[in-house]
Structure 1
Amino acid sequence: MKIKLVIILLLFLKMGANAQIEKPIKWSYAAKRISPTEVLLYLKADIAVGWHIYSVNQKEGGPERTNFSFLFSKDFSVIGKIQEPKPVKKHEEVFDMDVFYFEKSVLFTQKIKLNKGEAVVKGKVSFMACTDKECLPPDEVEFSIPIK
C-alpha cells in the first residue's frame, strides 16, 4: 500500500514538473540619447542554451518572426525600422525554406525622435522560441522604457 502511494505521489510530481512553462528568453531594455531629440532604444534577448528566436526579417510561411510594436504616443515617433545583427541562416526541411535566427543573445535597436524632452516608450515584442527538436507557442512580452 505504501509503495502504491509513493508511486502515485511521484507521478503527480513528475506531471507538475512537466506542466511548468519554460521561459527560455529573457528580455531587457535600455535607451541612449544620440542627440537632443534622438534616442537609440536597445531591446536585448538573452536566449537559454539550445534555444533560438527568429529574425524580424523572417519570411512568411515559416516560423513566427520576432516582431516589435510600439504604442502610439505624441511624445515620440519611430524613425525607420528595427535593426538587428546578422542572423544565423539554416535550411529547415520542416518549412522547406531558409530560416534566420539568433542564439545565446541578440541586441535589436530602434531609433526614435522625441517630440518633448522626456518620454516613456511602451510596446510589446512577440516571438517564438525553438530548439532543434521543439518550439514553444508564440509568446508576447510588454515593455516600458523611460527616457529622461
Structure 2
Amino acid sequence: MMKRFTLTFAAVLIVLSALNAQVQNPVKWNYTASKKSDKEYIVTISATLEPNWHIYSMNTPTGGPVPTTVTFKRNPLVTIDGKTTEDGRPKTVHDEIFGIDVKYYGETVSFVQTVKLKSPVKTNLSGTVKYMVCNDKMCLPPKTVPFNIQLQ
C-alpha cells in the first residue's frame, strides 16, 4: 500500500513538473517613471520579448487579435495627461486568420504616458497591462499583469 502511494506521488510530481516547464512567458515587463518637473512624470511600461514572439499594438482593429491595453487605477493625486503612446518598431501585416491588417511589435516596445501630480507629493501609480503574444506557430491566451510605479 505504501509503495503504491509513493509511486503515485512520484508520478504526480513528474506530471506537475512537466506542466510547469510548459508554461510560457515570452514577455518581460519593466516599469519606470522619469521626472519631467516637480509635478509631471513620463511613465514608461516596456515589454521585452523573446525571439520570434510579437505583441499586438494598442491600435489593433476590431475583429483582430487582442490589442495591448494599459489601464491606470484611479489615484486622486494623479491626472493622466493625454493618451498612452507606443514607442517601438511596428510591423504591419495582413493576418489571414483574422482577415485584417494588424500591427505588432517584436523584440521591444514601450507604452508611454505623461501623468501630472495635483501637488508635488510622493505617490504611486498602479494599474494593469493586458496583452496577447504570438509566434509563427501559436498564440498564447491574453494575459493581464499588474504594475505599481513610484512617483517621487
Name the TM tier (shorter chain): 0.7 to 0.9
Residue identity opposite 1:29 in structure 2: Y
Gaps of 5+ in 1: 1-8
Deviation at 1:120, TM superposition (A): 0.1
In the other structure, the counterpart of 1:31 is: 33
Alignment of 1:1-148 (within 5 A): 16-17=17-18, 20-85=22-87, 86-117=89-120, 118-148=122-152
**Alignment TM-score, normalising by the size of structure 1:** 0.87
1:6 match: none
Inter-partner Cα distance in structure 1 for 2:81 and 2:75: 13
Q: Relative to structure 2, which stretch is displaced further, 17-26 or 92-101?
A: 17-26
d(CA) in 1 for partners of 2:95 and 2:26? 21
Q: TM-score of the superposition, structure 2-length normalised?
A: 0.85
Give me the whole-angstrom Cα distance separating, in 2, the residues matched to 1:135 and 1:17: 20
Q: CA 1:78–1:93 in 2, change beyond 3 Å: closer, same or farther?
A: same
State the one-letter code of the partner of 1:83. Answer: T
Q: Please, which runs of 5 or more residues in structure 2 have no aligned partner?
A: 1-9
Match for 1:92: what amino acid?
A: D
Identity of paired residues, percent?
35
After TM superposition, the runs of 4+ consecutive aligned structure 1 residues lying more than 6 A away are: none
Considering only aligned residues, what root-mean-square deviation do their CA atoms show, in Å?
1.9
